[in-house]
A and B are shown apart, each in its own frame.
Chain A
Amino acid sequence: MEQATTNVQVQPVDKAKIWGIWKVALILAVVTGIEYVFAFQMEAGALRNVIFIGLTIVKAFYIVAEFMHLGHEVKGLVYSIILPMIFILWLIMALVNLEGAAIKDARGIVDYEGDGIEHVDEEH
Chain B
Amino acid sequence: MIDSLCDQAGGQNVAVACFYFDFAARQEQSPTSILGALLKQLVVGLGEVPEEMTRAYEEQKNFIGGRRPRHTDIVKMLQAASSKKRTFICIDALDECVPEHRVKLLGSLNQVLQNSPATRIFVTGRPHIRPEIGRRLSGRVTSLPISTKTDDIIRYLHSRLEEDTTPDAMDSSLEADILRKIPEDVSEMYDM
- B and A form one assembly: no
**A residues at B contact (CB < 8 Å):** none
